[in-house]
Amino acid sequence: MTTVQERRKKAKKDALLFGAVSCALYAGAFVYADAMVTMFAKGGMYTMLPIVTVFLFSYVHGNFAGSVWTALGIEASAKAGRKTDKADAAKRTDSRNRATVTA
């Protein structure tokens, strides 16, 4: 089971990694902004270019943003998680004893 500290530590690492890649992508996009705008405005054969671009940016920058919030301790209410756990627990019909480890 992941503790809050472990989760935040991983989020900090992810934020640094995805943040660096996101910065590089944005820097590249604005260095070549004029060329990109001209090419994407052609439409027709170039229709997929803006779509592929935003998918790439949203994956990298989306992971960065999510990791930043988690690293800052801004996370969903514990109730949101507990609801799902309860629903899953209710679905369990196997009444056999579960294996446990006693340390």
Partner 1 sequence: MHDMLAENLRFVDLTLVGVLFLFFVGFVGGLVSGFIGSGGAFVLTPGMMSLGVPGPVAVASNMCHKFPKALVGAIKRYKYGQVDIKMGLIIGVSAEIGVQLGIQVQKFILEQWGQAGSNLYVSVAFVFVLVTVGSFVLKDAIATKRDGGEEKVTMLAKRLQAIELWPMMNFKGSGIRISFWFTAPVGLAAGLLAATIAVGGFAGVPGMIYIIGLSSLMASATELVVAFVMGLGGTMVWAFYGMVDIRLTLIILAGSLFGVQLGAIGTTYVKDYAIKFVMATIMLIVAVSRGLAMPKYLKQLDVLNWDGGLIDILSKVSFGLMCFALLVGAFIILKAMILGRRAERQLEMQGSAAARA
Please report whether residue 91 would count as binding partner 1 according to CB under 8 A: no
Please report whether residue 43 would count as binding partner 1 according to CB under 8 A: yes
Among residues 3, 5, 79, 94, the one that binds partner 1 under rule CB under 8 A: 79
The string of DSSP codes covering the chain is ---HHHHHHHHHHHHHHHHHHHHHHHHHHHHTHHHHHHHHTT-GGGTHHHHHHHHHHHHHHHHHHHHHHHHTT----HHHHHHHHHHHHHH----SPPP----
Please report whether residue 19 would count as binding partner 1 according to CB under 8 A: no
Q: Which residues bind partner 1 (CB under 8 A)?
A: 26, 29-30, 33, 36-37, 40-44, 46-51, 53-55, 57-58, 61-62, 64-66, 68-69, 74-81, 83-84, 87
